[in-house]
Amino acid sequence: MDNQRTPRSFSTGGTVKRDTRQQQQKLVVILICIVIALLLVVFMTIIGTKIVLTLTGGHQNADPSAVEYEEVTVDRTQTLYGPLAIVNETHEYEFPDKAAANLVKIWNYRNAHTEEGDYPAYKISYPELILVDGAALPSLHNFLTDFSDATKQTNTIVTSAYRTYEEQKSFQVTEGKSDHHTGFGVTLKLNDDGIVLNIYDNPEYYAWLSENAHKYGFVPRYPEDKANITGISNYVEYFHYVGYAPAAYMKANNLCLEEFVAGIKSYSVDDPLKVTDANGQNWLIYYAACPGDMATIKLPTNFTYTVSGDNEGGIIVCVSLSKAAFEQQQQQESESDSAAQ
């Protein structure tokens, strides 16, 4: 009996101590919850900042209407290639290393983007051989698919696109001087029960192609009324991808590629050309000369852009702008014109 203990629940002093400990434990739990909540707030803030940085090209831009630039070094080879590179009798093509070429099969892309059970919207004459630059392929597919829908036919056939130096030997234009080497152009014809016909012989079909090509970033590479500039005639069925902004400007001003490249040289990063494409997207286009083996040019850090060499020693930059940025550019141009008067 001497070793028997009184239960704590019957002890007044024990109850007070237990209540005190419970209050302390509750306080600790509350403090821990507060700390966790604060940590979550900090964590979410950091995550949010990372998302903003990613969407704005790595820089958080307080003013969405201001285009920010950084200096980037480019070498001579970057002036040689791209959808706006001129290749003709006076501008020979320098073939890149095979690993550097971005050539893909039209056949594979078309099949991957045709619903199972649907008949393909267009044909490819040599499925394993006809290649285009990957940058042009999605637009080409949409171009030909919409053409098929508009004309209710599936007889369009791509008969030629990229050509190697050796392949060009079988054609009229001298090897090394054909636009086909760029991989941005395609020849379109009609396949009528196995008989290949010129697509321009059908006025309705060719009218749709020539009037709508710019909506997909394409232009007729060799318009008949520009043969004295391009050096090529009777090849209006050849369409070349130049990008949405250049295509819109070339269409509106009736320019061939040679004329566009010559004219864009008067527009710099400080005084760019302003263009709205057929889809309502606003753009800035400017030219940067790249003399010598290396040069420094300015590229946007907070808006998406595309670049292309012109095969004349320069780079052409197309910047896709927000509405606010485009309006600011127009306002700055208007203020500059007013100050000059």
Q: Could you tell me the residue ranges of all domains in the chain?
A: 12-55, 61-84+261-341, 92-241
Q: Using one digit for the tens of pLDDT, what is the confidence trace for 320-330?
A: 998 777 777 77
Helical H segments across 103-197, by residue range: 106-112, 137-151, 165-168
Q: Using one digit for the tens of pLDDT, what is the confidence trace for 48-105?
A: 332 222 222 323 344 567 899 999 999 999 999 999 999 999 999 999 876 567 999 9
Higher pLDDT, 268 or 331: 268
**Left (φ > 0), alpha (ψ -120 to 50) or beta: where does 217 sit?**
left
**How far apart, in whole angstroms, are the C-alpha atoms of residue 251 and residue 244?**
11
Q: Using one digit for the tens of pLDDT, what is the confidence trace for 144-199?
A: 999 999 999 999 999 999 999 999 999 999 999 999 999 999 999 999 888 899 99
Please state, in angstroms and as integers, the Cα–Cα distance from residue 273 to each residue in 211, 279, 293, following that order. 23, 18, 27
CATH for 61-84+261-341, among 3.30.390.10, 3.40.50.1170, 2.60.120.680, 3.30.200.180? 3.30.200.180
The H or E element spanning position 211 is helix 203-212
Top CATH class of 92-241 equals: alpha beta
Q: What values do phi and psi take at 190, rounded to 5?
A: -115, 140
The H or E element spanning position 113 is none
**How far apart, in whole angstroms, are the C-alpha atoms of residue 341 and residue 336?**
9
Quote the DSSP letter at residue 237.
Answer: T
- Predicted TM-score (pTM) of this structure: 0.79
